[in-house]
Amino acid sequence: MKVLKDILYKVRLIEVVGSTDISVDAVCFDSRKVVKGSLFVAVKGIQNDGHVFIEQVIKAGAISIICQELPKEKKENITYVKVNDSSVALGIIASNFYNNPSEKLKLVGITGTNGKTTTATLLHDLFTGLGFNVGLVSTVVSKVGTTEIPVTHTTPDPIQLGKLMDQMIKKGCEYCFMEVSSHAVVQNRIEGLKFAGAVFTNITHDHLDYHKTFEAYLKAKKKFFDDLDADAFALVNKDDHNGLVMIQKTKALKKTFALKSSADFKCKILESQFSGLLLNIDGTEMWSKLIGSFNASNLLTIYSTAMLLGQDKMKVLTILSNLSSVDGRFQQIKTHSGIVGIVDYAHTPDALQNVLKTIRDIRSANEKIVTVIGCGGDRDALKRPVMAQIACDESDKVILTSDNPRSEDPEEIIRQMQKGVDRVHQKKVLSISDRREAIKTACLLASSGDIILVAGKGHEKYQEIKGVKYDFDDVKILTENLETIAG
């Protein structure tokens, strides 16, 4: 329970009708979750406008309304607060309602097209290994210490975030590592949070179904850094030419990391094998179980973040050398078949290019690379032919299949992917819309020593078709088929 005037602290108010000296039991922006004593924030979303539900939520027990447009008819004993942007107000209100937990944590946000989940998850594992109680907010799972909490979005809504971080404080967490998506920035889901640091991994073609242009996507990422306080740090990947763009206007401490250029934190790949990486990080050699140059960049990102958070270099490198890959991120499957299976979340052109280049660089001779790839429905269609083209350029055999078709026709998605298949590659390409059958076919096409990449879904344990989610696990299905061959 909070007093309304207290949870309106720092909210830019345009007009108030009624008393702010009232007790609020809950904060809601979903009309279906309103209970007696609630403060309802009427947010204008992409699909729904919360203003439409104001009368309904008052009947359900809401005692105060935050809105951008005051209703013509106002109810007695209801406090109406007009603001310029309800979504911004929601973030600040949610933080105030939960006693501003981000100010009591060292909260670090990780943004970028690729590498967010691996970086955030391994930072959680690293700092846990260093002896800290740590929170995690990621695409795959959120954690309060070691307790896992299921997630539905890359970045939860402000109320979920406030509640989650309040739990972290109550459990004694000192740090929290959090994926920050471009959607979350644009939709003001991180408003009201205080970040100790922000990390930029890279930016490539993605989410143009939402942002429409690459410039808008870049601007969304950049806003995260623009809004940092002067006592925070801004760590960016200098190997990405947009890295320095991110920190042009930030007030935060600016730091860089790189594999290919001069930077504040440096790493050199000494050896790259399917068993791991030998790296030189800031003058010290370390071995990692992780695979590929993109993971070398991830490890450098994690190391650099730890250094900026004041941790001991040798302790950090020692723990990093023992960390394992995140589920669905270049996850290797080894069976007695002699075929190497790899499952990876690569669902952008750049991520697919990185994974396939890593496989090509590491393979020892002429082992075939068989790639199974699809593209998600109701998402950026421009990348579909590009994904197919990359798969063909870097693989010996390619099977175009379904990812999560959602509301779209899987066959139509595949037809759009086929536009990226050059004539010289047509003989190496098969189209099988049934993903299970596609994986089975890939296993039948491969021989001992060959490498099968199943890309696009990674850690996901479902396939969404026509609005229904069916159980589907790439790792499980690939493993079963490889074991059948071995048997």
What six digits make up the tokens of 326? 């995140």
What six digits make up the tokens of 265? 């934190």
Beta carbons within 10 angstroms of residue 287's beta carbon: 16
DSSP of 122-150:
HHHHHHHHTT--EEEE-SS-EEETTEEE-
Cα angle, residue 163 at apex, residues 160 and 166 outer, rounded to 5°: 145
**Are the C-beta atoms of residues 180 and 87 closer than 8 Å to each other?**
no
pLDDT at 334: 83
pLDDT at 150: 81
What six digits make up the tokens of 74? 């106002």
Structure pTM?
0.88
pLDDT at 467: 86
pLDDT at 211: 47
**Which H or E element spans position 218?**
helix 214-226
DSSP of 144-183:
ETTEEE--SSSS--HHHHHHHHHHHHHTT--EEEEE--HH
Amino acid at residue number 242: N
**Are the C-beta atoms of residues 304 and 197 closer than 8 Å to each other?**
no
pLDDT at 213: 82
pLDDT digits (tens), the chain, 487 positions: 899 999 999 999 999 999 999 999 999 999 999 999 999 999 998 788 999 999 999 999 999 999 999 999 999 999 999 999 999 999 999 999 999 999 999 999 999 988 999 999 999 999 999 999 999 999 889 999 999 998 766 578 999 999 999 999 999 999 999 999 988 998 999 999 999 999 999 988 554 555 458 788 888 889 999 999 999 999 999 999 999 999 999 999 999 999 999 999 999 999 999 999 999 999 999 999 999 999 999 999 999 999 999 999 999 999 999 999 888 999 999 888 899 999 999 999 989 999 999 999 898 888 999 999 999 999 889 999 999 999 999 999 999 999 999 999 999 999 999 999 999 999 999 999 999 999 999 999 999 999 999 999 999 999 999 989 999 999 999 999 999 987 6
**Are the C-beta atoms of residues 302 and 451 closer than 8 Å to each other?**
no
* C-alpha distance from residue 337 to each of 275, 388, 391, 451 (Å): 18, 27, 24, 11
What residues contact residue 220 under an 8 Å CB cut-off, 6+ apart?
182, 183, 185, 186, 211
Which of these, 158, 260, 161, 270, lies nearest to 202 by C-alpha position? 260
